Chain A
C-alpha cells in the first residue's frame, strides 16, 4: 500500500513572531463579541430581528429542545397494572447490532400473554442508539423517548440498566429499593427472583 507522507506545515516568519497572531485572534473574538452585543441590544428594542445573534444555553440547568424523534435513553412501557408490556419475544435482542440487550423470558400465567421477561438488561456502554429495538418491537414495549442524554457513569456496571431503571427512567443507580410486583430477577436482591403474579391484575384463565 502506498504511503502518503503528510508534512507538518512550517510556521512562517510572522507566525513565529507570536504576538501578531495573538492580535489576529483577539480581532476575531472582539468582532464576534461586539457584533453579538450590538445585535442583542438591537433585538431588545425590536430591531434587526431577522439577523440571529449567538445564544448560550445554560446546560445542564437549561436543556435544548429535542426533536420528537430524537433517540435518547431507553425505557420499558407498562400495562395498566404496572407490569411491563414486554412479552419476551426477544426480537430486540435479536436485531440489536451491538448485542447490548439481555432478555430471559419465562412462562406467564395468562396463556394469552404466553411469556414475560424475568430479566431485561441494556448495557448502555455497548448500545449504539440505532433505535432498531424500538422499531422491531411488536408490542410498543420499548421506547427511546425519555429525553435523558447524560449517561456518564463512574463504572461499567453503572452503565448496565436493569429492569428497575428501564421501567422507571427517573431511577438512577444505585437502586435502593425494589417496588416491582411481577416476578423478575432482581438486582436489588442479589439476582434472586422477586415478586409474583398472585394478587395482581393478571388472573390465569381457567
Chain B
C-alpha cells in the first residue's frame, strides 16, 4: 500500500493505482479527456499533467502508478502552464463553433479552457478542414473537426462492445476519427460513445438541435425497459413547449452505478420512452364517454363491495412499482390477483439487456404476485408456484366466473387475441382498465382510468438481481391523470378498507414492515444507488474491469 501525498493530503492506495485515481479518492479532480474509469488507459490527451516532486518533467496523472513517498501537485503554475499548452494544441484545429454545437454548455473543452485557457490565441494559420455531420449509424452523428482524438469511443467499441467499428486514421493534423469502410455504428450500445465523448464530436441524432443543454432539467431515475433496471438521468424540458415538438423527455443519460450498469446504457432503453409523451390517455372514460374520477371510483368501489371477493379479478402488471403491487395485494385481499401474464421473452445479451422486459417482475415475485421463472437464475428469489397467472384469471373472466376485472396497463387483445378479449369484455360485469396509453383494450373496457407513467410517480422497482431501486418522480403527470397508488388509496377508502399511508414513502414503510425480504429498507437506505433485498445475491458485475 504505497503512501502518496497529493496537494498536501496523504492517502494510502493499493499498488498499481494511478495518480488520477488516488486523487479522486481525496476528492481532487484532475482534468481529463482520454481517461475514463470504465476504459483502458490511453494517455494521449495530456490534459491531466501534474507536477511530481523530484521529477524534472510534468507527468500524466492517468498513466502514472503511485509509488511510496510520491509527492504530487495537481495545481500550481507548472501544471497549469502545461495544461494551457495542451489546450492550445488541442484547439489549434478545433472549429470553435460553440454557438451551433450541441455539446456547448457541457463540453470539457469549454470547461477546462475557462480554467486554464490561453485567452490570447497565437494560432494564425489556416485550420485543417475535415468532414462535418457524418452519420455513423442510426443514433450517432460525427463532426470530425471538433474531435480531439482522445480515442474514448474507439476504446469503447473495442473493449466494451467488442465490435470495433471506429478507428483513428491518417497522421499528424490530418488524423481523424472515422468508421472502418463499409461499417455502421449500430451495435446495441452505440449511443454510449456520445456520452463519453468529452467534446461535441459525437452527438445524438435523435436529440440533435432539439434543445440547448442549458434548458434541460435533470432527475435521477431507473430504466423500465427491462428487468436490469439500469440507472439513468432523465433530461427533460417543461417550460419551453415549442422545443422538442412539445415532448417533455428530451434525452436519457446513463447514471453511474457500479453494481448495475456502471457507466453504460443500451440503445433500446435509451430510445424506448416515446410513449411517455405520445398517445397518452387524458381523461376518465365510461364506455368511451368522458367522465370523472369521482364517478369512476364510486362505481368501482360499489361493484367491489357488491360482488363476492372470489369473483373479483385483477391482472396487475410488473410495470407497477412495489408500493402499488403491495396496495393491490392488500386491497384485493381474497380476490384473484396476478402480475404475471404470458409474454414473449424479448432480446437479451450477456451484458445489460435482459429478456424480461418488465422492470419489476422480481418485486411482483417477492410480493407473491408472480410465479418463479423456469430456469431461475436469481439466487433463490423466485416466487411461490401456486400464484394464479394472468392467463388463468383471463380464462375465468372469459367463462363468466368474474364480476369485476381490473386490468393494469395490459392490452388484452395483444395478450389473448381479439376474440378472447371481446368475450372477456362481454362476460365480465365490470371491466376496468387503468393505464397510460391508448390501446385496443381501452375500447372494450367499461371504465378507463388514466394513470401516471413511471416517470411521473415515486416508487421502487426490484431488478433481476434483487436490488431495490427508487425511480423517483421526474415530473408531474398531465392534468387529469393520477398515480396508480393514489387511485388505489382512494379506492381503499371508498370500499371501506382505508390505509394508514398517504404517499409512496409510507406505503413502502408498511411494505417493509410486512415483507421479510424488504425488512429494514427505507427510501433513505435505498438512496440513489439502490439496496439489495434480503437473501438476494446481487452480484457486482465484472465486465467493466479494464482489460490490461
Contact = CB atoms under 8 A, between A and B. Distances in A.
Interface in A85-110: 87-91, 94, 102, 104-107
Contacts of A140: none
A119 interface: yes
A141 to B, nearest CB: 11
B97 interface: yes
Interface in B212-230: 212, 214-215
B133 interface: yes
A111 B133 contact: yes
B347 interface: no
B132 A102 contact: no
Contacts of B398: none
A105 B97 CA distance: 16
B135 to A, nearest CB: 11
A150 interface: no
A135 interface: no
A26 B99 CA distance: 63
Interface string B358-371: 00000000000000
A169 B60 CA distance: 57
A114 B212 contact: no
A98 to B, nearest CB: 14
A24 to B, nearest CB: 58
A102 B243 CA distance: 9
Given A94-B214, A111-B133, A114-B133, A105 B209 contact: yes
Contacts of A89: 99-100
B132 A111 contact: yes
A115 B132 contact: no
B182 to A, nearest CB: 18
Nearest to A90: B212
A107 B100 contact: no
B209 A88 contact: yes
Contacts of A106: 209
B205 to A, nearest CB: 9
Contact of A91 (B99, B131, B208, B209): B99
B115 interface: no
A80 interface: no
Contact of B100 (A94, A102, A104, A114): A114
Interface residues on A, range: 10 to 19
Which residue, B100, B208, B243, has most C-beta atoms of chain A within 10 A? B100
Contacts of A91: 99
B122 interface: no
Given A102-B242, A104-B243, A115-B209, A88 B100 contact: yes
Contacts of B214: 94
A112 interface: yes
Contact of A112 (B101, B132, B212, B215): B132
A138 B99 contact: yes
Q: Is the interface of B mostly helix, strand, loop or mixed?
A: loop
B209 A119 contact: no
Nearest to B105: A94
A100 B214 CA distance: 18
A170 B284 CA distance: 50
A51 B212 CA distance: 58
Nearest to B245: A104
A96 to B, nearest CB: 12
Given A94-B214, A111-B133, A119-B242, A87 B209 contact: no
A138 B209 CA distance: 17
Interface in B235-289: 242-243
Contacts of A112: 132
A104 B241 CA distance: 10
Residue of B208, B209, B243 ringed by the most chain A CB atoms within 10 A: B209
Contact of A87 (B99, B131, B242, B243): B99
B30 to A, nearest CB: 31
Contacts of A111: 131-133
Contact of B242 (A88, A94, A104, A139): A104
Contacts of A87: 99-100
A138 B100 CA distance: 10
A113 B133 CA distance: 10
A90 to B, nearest CB: 5
Interface string B65-106: 000000000000000000000000000000001011100000
Contacts of B99: 87, 89, 91, 138-139
B209 A107 contact: yes
Nearest to B243: A104
Nearest to A115: B209
A106 B100 CA distance: 11
Contacts of B132: 111-112, 114
Contact of B97 (A94, A102, A107, A114): A114
Nearest to A206: B131
Contacts of A107: 133, 208-209
- Residue of A102, A112, A138, A139 with most partner-chain B CB within 10 A: A112
Interface string B189-216: 0000000000000000000110010110
A102 to B, nearest CB: 5
Closest 9 CB pairs of A and B: A111-B133, A89-B99, A111-B132, A114-B100, A138-B99, A105-B209, A115-B209, A87-B100, A90-B212
Interface of A: 87-91, 94, 102, 104-107, 111-115, 119, 138-139
16 contacts: A87-B99, A87-B100, A89-B99, A89-B100, A90-B212, A91-B99, A94-B212, A102-B242, A105-B209, A106-B209, A107-B133, A111-B131, A111-B132, A113-B100, A114-B209, A138-B99
Given A107-B209, A114-B100, 19 more contacts: A87-B99, A87-B100, A88-B100, A88-B209, A89-B99, A91-B99, A94-B212, A94-B214, A104-B242, A106-B209, A107-B133, A111-B132, A112-B132, A113-B100, A114-B97, A114-B133, A115-B100, A115-B209, A139-B99
